[in-house]
Structures are given as C-alpha cells and as structure tokens.
Amino acid sequence: MNARKLRKTYIDFFKARGHAEIKSAPLVPENDPTVLFTTAGMHPLVPFLLGEKHPAGTRLVNVQKCLRTGDIEEVGDTTHLTFFEMLGNWSLGDYFKEEAIRYSYEFLTDVLGLTQDRLWVSCFAGDADAPRDEEAAQAWRDLGIPEDRIVFLGKKDNWWGPAGETGPCGPDTEMFVELEQPPCGAECGITCNCGKFVEIWNDVFMQYNKTAEGRYEPLKQKNVDTGMGVERVAAVLQGKKSAYETELFAPLFRTITEISGQQNPEATRSGRIVAEHMRAATFLMGDGVRPGNVDQAYILRRLIRRAIREARMLGVRGSFAVRLADCVIREYGDVYCELKQNEGFIREEMSREEGQFSATLERGTREFNKLIESFPPHVDRKVVSGRKAFYLYETFGFPLELTVEMARERGFDVDTKGFDAAFRKHQEKSRKGAEQKFKGGLADQSERTTALHTATHLLHAALRRVLGDHVKQAGSNITAKRLRFDFTHPQKVTPEELKRVESIVNDVINDDLPIDSEEMTLKDAQDSGAIGLFGDRYGERVKVYSIGNFSMEVCGGPHAKRTGDLGKFRIRKEESSSRGVRRIKAVLE
Ligand code: SER
C-alpha cells in the first residue's frame, strides 16, 4: 500500500467510527509557548486535552506534518528523519483504553492485513507515579495477543509527554511489527534497534497532568492520543527496509541521480541527507518560513546548507535546490495544498539561499587556500589542525570530508580527531541551548502564559488600528516571561506608533473588558469580521474569541477571563524578523 492510500484508508476508518477529520496544523505552532516546531499531532490539541471544548467534537482524526530536530545529525542513516507525517486519532474525554486498542488492532489486522503473529505490544510497567497498565494489557489479551508478546516497560519506553515540562501525559501502549530476519542475538526483542522490530503505532492514554512541581495529577478528562508514522508504516507494508526506499522519496532520488550522475543515491549517506533535508526545507517554506539566523529560520537554513554541502560530496556542481523543491511540491502538493499555494515563494527563497551559500563556500575555498599557503614551504608535518578544520566547517560550511580531500590534493593531512573533539564541544553547547529553549514547556497553560496570549490578541488588534489592515499575524511565540509577535508590515514601526499601540492596549486593559468565546462556522466567523489565518487551516467549525468590541479572533484558546487581569502591557523591542515581517517582544508587568 502506498502512502497516499494509507492516509486515506486511515482517515476513512476513523471517520466511519465517528471521528471528525481536522486539518494538519502548520509546522510552526501558533500561539504556542517555547516550541519551535509541531513535533506530534497532539501539539495543536493541548488546550483540548486539558478540557477546552473542540469545535469538531470529541473524536478527531488527521494527518499531521511534524518536524523533529533532536536527531538532525543522525539523518543520513536509514532510519532517522526530521520531517515526517503522523496519522493520529484522538478521544477528548470520549472513549478510552479498551476502545482505542481495539481500533488500533482492527486497523492493523483487518485493514492493513498485518497478521497477528507479526505483532508485539508493550505496556507501561508502573512506578511511583502511576500503576502498571493492566487495563491496556487486558485489552490486548482479549483481542488474542499472546502473553509472551505483551512486554511491560518503564517510563523511558512506555510513557508519553508532557511535550514540555508540564502538561498532559500518560502511559502508552506501543505496537511493533516483527520483520522476517533473524534476531541479532539471544537478547533481541522489541527494544532492540537492530531492525528486526519496527515500532509503528503509539496509543497514549493521557490521564495525567504533570505540574511544574513534578506531580502527576489525574486529568479531569481522560484522553487518547495516538500517533502512527506514515513513512515507517508505508515501508513495512511495502516490504522495504527503510522509508527512503518507498515511493515518497523516489522522485527526489531520481532527480539527485540526474544532477549528480550518482546511481542509487538512496544507498549513500549524502544522498539520503540531500533528499531528507530538502523535503523538510520545502515543507517549512510551504508554511511561510524563510531562511535566517534565529529559531525556525535558522533550522531551515541549516537543513538547506547541509543538503548543499552533501550534494557537493555527491558531485553536484550547479544549482539544484529548486529542482528538488519542485519534486516535493509535485509529490505532496495535492495533500498539502499550501505547498502549491506558496510555490513561487518556495522557489524564490530556495534559489536565494542556495546562491548565498554558494558564495560562502567560495569564500571558504579562498580561506582554505590562504591557510595552506601560510605554512612555511619546508615544514615537516603538513597537518591542518582540527580547530582550523572545524572553523571551515562552522563558518563556511565545509564538511570534514571536503577539507580532507582538498588538503590531500595539496599534500596535507587533517587532524580529524581534533575536528571531532571541536565538533562534540560545539554540539554539547547547542544541545544545552536547545534544552534551555524548550524548558518553558509546550503545555504551559499557566496564568501568566494565558494572560500573555490574551495580550497577543490585544496587540494584534491595536497594531491593525494604528498601522492598518495589512497587518497580519505571521507568527506567535509565548513564554512565561514575554510574548513575541511577528506580523506583516513593510517598514520599521516608529517609536510614536509603538507608543500609540502600547497605550491602546493599556486602555483596553483598564476598561476590564470580558473575554468570551463562541463556536461558529468558518464562514460566519469570516462574515462577522473575525481575524485569523484563514486559508485552509481551520476546520468547518471554529472557535472565536471576542474581547469586548475591541478584538475578535479565531483561536483555540485558552484566554484570561477579563482584560483587567492582565497587568500593565509594555513593548520591549521592535525589530525586523524577515523581509516584510516585523517582530515585537512585549511583557506584562
Ligand atoms: N504523541 C504521541 C507520539 O508522538 C502519539 O501521538 O508518539
């Protein structure tokens, strides 16, 4: 079964069981504190897992675009991906373990045709925070899974969430397919990563809320959150060892062969990196991200630059990025229409970034030549130090292999051990940075972040009053300390304009207006003048938050009860975010 059929079959299966299909949220979360990317289908649903009412009901299903950057350096092997699609079904306080497990089992066996003797499952073994999940195990037994294929594991393996430090989480049960290959040893089992067992589905029972103090409190609403990776399942169903061998990547590899002359690029590390990163980069641009030096923009830049370097290793010389982006748009455009809608933007940005980076690589080559020439002619040991090689990597994007090759042509060696040490030191630093960044936690629905979320709506409305209706939200990120709001506006906002915006927001806060929400159809929301990122992103029914008569915006919530709860609003910074987009950071004092 190909991925196209798999998506449709999955959605149809759950629709037939009362689930409403919801759109894939963008890869860059809206109004979501401190996460850079949507990494699972549950992200955009956090408020609803915590009890907000979802306009589409209590049973939901979708295909969600996800991006995980934790293993970005691992991409190149046959298993890691940054971008992937996740099939998910949710129960928001509706059905629970028995029904969720039965649905999963029926879908795997009756619909996908996986025979029971290939399936293994794992359940939570229990610890001081939560008991052993006998309920899940019993559901599997009742379906006929033999006892020796039900494995109990601890929190590391069988617990999901919270996505940040706090929020909904719970025990999960994972499903594995056993492949026809010999076990790697006596200890080989589902936790082994030799490739014999492939985890294909995860049913999470979100029955706890982890508090900032680290306590696990039972949620008033018990939810199910499931996730099944499209690429992985497609590979299993097609009898392929890796997602890279499926039709999802085939057009990319065909094009890579055309531009590099390299046969079977899918069998090489560089080929896989080029294909994987260009697919992820195209999807990010499809959601409006431009390459840059911070946050999402920086990750996008890293993906493209790494792909360009690896393409050089494959022998590609001219520009190629747009051709690969075209492949992605062709392959996915009818499922993710934003790729088609933003085709012009994607092609333009791809080619700009590629041009810029090629110039950097040229400067790096000159730098390298200077370095070699700086050695006295009769030096005994001709070695480029690890530090210098890392400098070329970090500043000019030279992969080590390229430096080694160029050095060898000039009769030099490279201290590769020294390079590895410098690389590890750098990685450790950026890992720490990333951890800092995620510390606030996705599901931080504290009073402070909720108040800042409401302040974001006020800021948005005030900016439109002062600057004009061309102002549209281009991004939002909230931590417990500040809000950050990106919006379209062609020039710098003047200090006078900022003052006016600030005082309008504070006037509305002083007026102590009530904040109400109402569900309506998307059309009614538009007709009544609610602002929001319409396009294709919302479902049929939406929730609209009104702040007195001042602001009306499509949004999932949650929000403060009254503007008087907010405190004093102060703009701390106004700067450029990218071309045509300004960024404001503001706080509530
Ligand atoms: N959130 C869970 C996961 O990402 C299930 O969707 O695996």
Residue 49 CB–ligand 1 contact under 6 Å: no
Tell me what pLDDT residue 444 has: 58
Segment 505-534 mean pLDDT: 86
On the question of pLDDT at 438 being above 80, the answer is: no
226 lines ligand 1 (CB under 6 A): yes
Q: How far is the CA of 153 from the centre of ligand 1 (A)?
A: 17
State if residue 202 touches ligand 1 by the CB under 6 angstroms criterion.
yes
Quick check: 486 and 475 in contact, CB under 8 A? yes
pLDDT tens, residue by residue, 292-322:
877 788 889 989 988 998 898 898 988 999 9
Mutate to test the pocket of ligand 1, among 226, 228, 231, 232 (most ligand atoms within 8 A of CB): 226
Closest CA to 133 of 92, 91, 173, 89: 173
**550 band by pLDDT with thresholds 50, 70 and 90:** very high
Establish how many alpha carbons lie within 13 A of residue 408's alpha carbon, considering only the half-sphere containing its beta carbon.
Answer: 7
Predicted pLDDT at 270: 93
pLDDT of 227 reads: 96
Q: Distance from the CA of 202 to the center of ligand 1, in angstroms?
A: 6
Alpha carbon nearest to ligand 1 atom 4, residue:
40
State the Cα–Cα distance between residues 550 and 508, nearest whole angstrom.
Answer: 8
Q: How far is the CA of 251 from the centre of ligand 1 (A)?
A: 29
- Assigned token pair, 34: 């401190």
What local confidence, expressed as pLDDT, does residue 538 receive? 57
| The pLDDT of residue 536 is above 60 | no
Q: Does domain 447-588 have CATH number 3.30.980.10?
A: yes
- Averaged pLDDT for residues 144-168: 91
CA 101, 107, 108 angle in degrees (round to 5)?
90
Numbers of helices and strands, H then E, in the chain: 18, 18
Cα(161) to centroid of ligand 1, in Å? 8
Average pLDDT, the chain: 90
User: Which among 68, 204, 231 is the best mutation to test ligand 1's pocket, defined by most ligand atoms within 8 Å of the CB?
Assistant: 204
Q: Does the Cβ of 160 fall within 6 Å of ligand 1?
A: yes
Q: What is the pTM of this model?
A: 0.75
Nearest CA to ligand 1 atom 2: 227
CA 340 to ligand 1 centroid distance, Å: 28
In contact, 460 and 485? CB cutoff 8 Å: yes
Instruction: Check if 173 has its Cβ closer than 6 Å to any atom of ligand 1.
Output: no
**Segment among 19-23, 33-37, 152-156, 486-490 with least mean pLDDT:** 33-37
pLDDT digits 0-9 by tens, 79-116? 899 999 999 999 999 999 999 999 999 999 999 999 99
Whole-angstrom distance, CA of residue 431 vs CA of residue 544: 38
Domain residue ranges of the chain, discontinuous segments joined by +: 3-243, 249-374, 380-430, 447-588
Q: What is the pLDDT of residue 440?
A: 35
- How sure is the predictor about 226, in pLDDT bands with cuts at 50, 70 and 90? very high
Residue 445 pLDDT grade (very low, low, confident, very high; cuts 50, 70, 90):
low
Degrees (nearest 5) of the Cα angle 253, 254, 259? 95
Residue 40, ligand 1, Cβ within 6 A: yes
How sure is the predictor about 255, in pLDDT bands with cuts at 50, 70 and 90?
A: very high
Q: Measured from the CB, is residue 3 less than 6 Å from ligand 1?
A: no
Lowest-confidence pick of 151-155, 387-391, 529-533: 529-533
Task: Compute, in angstroms, the gap from residue 521 CA to the centroid of ligand 1.
Answer: 29
Q: Which CATH superfamily is domain 3-243 in?
A: Bira Bifunctional Protein; Domain 2 (3.30.930.10)
Any atom of ligand 1 within 6 Å of the Cβ of 227: yes
Encode pLDDT of 338-371 as tens digits: 999 999 999 999 999 999 888 888 888 888 988 8
pLDDT above 60 (res 435): no
The 10 Å Cβ neighbour count of residue 98 is: 14
Q: In the structure, what pLDDT confidence band is assigned to residue 283 with cuts at 50, 70 and 90?
A: very high
Average pLDDT over residues 33-56: 86
Q: Is 42 in the pocket of ligand 1 (CB under 6 A)?
A: yes
Q: Which residues have a Cβ under 8 Å from the Cβ of 361 and sit 6 or more positions away?
A: 308, 309, 312, 396, 397, 398
Question: What is the phi/psi pair of residue 206, to 5°?
Answer: -80, 90
DSSP, residue by residue, 124-156: E---SSS---HHHHHHHHHTT--GGGEEEE-HH
Average pLDDT of the residues in 508-524? 89
List pLDDT tens digits, range 172-188.
999 999 998 889 998 89
Alpha-carbon distance of 308 to 327, in angstroms, equals: 16
Q: What sign for the dihedral angle of Cα 261, 265, 268, 269?
A: positive
CA 48 – CA 556 distance, rounded (Å): 8
Cβ-Cβ contacts under 8 Å for 339 (sequence gap 6 or more) = 282, 283, 286, 328, 329, 332, 333, 346
The pLDDT value recorded for residue 430 is: 65
Measured from the Cα of 204, ligand 1's closest atom is 5
Buried b / exposed e across 361-371, counting CB within 10 Å, b at 16+? beebeebbeeb
Residue 378 CA, chain-centre distance (Å), reads: 53
Average pLDDT of the segment spanning 478-499: 92
CA of 228, closest atom in ligand 1: 6
Give residue 317's pLDDT: 83
Tell me the C-alpha distance between 192 and 423, whole Å: 28
| Cα–ligand 1 centroid distance for 380 (angstroms) | 57
**Most confidently predicted of 30-39, 40-49, 103-112, 417-426:** 103-112
Query: Could you write out the DSSP letters of every residue in 393-417?
Result: HHHH---HHHHHHHHHHTT-EE-HH
Residue whose Cα lies nearest atom 3 of ligand 1: it is 227
Give the Å distance between the CA of 42 and the centre of ligand 1: 7
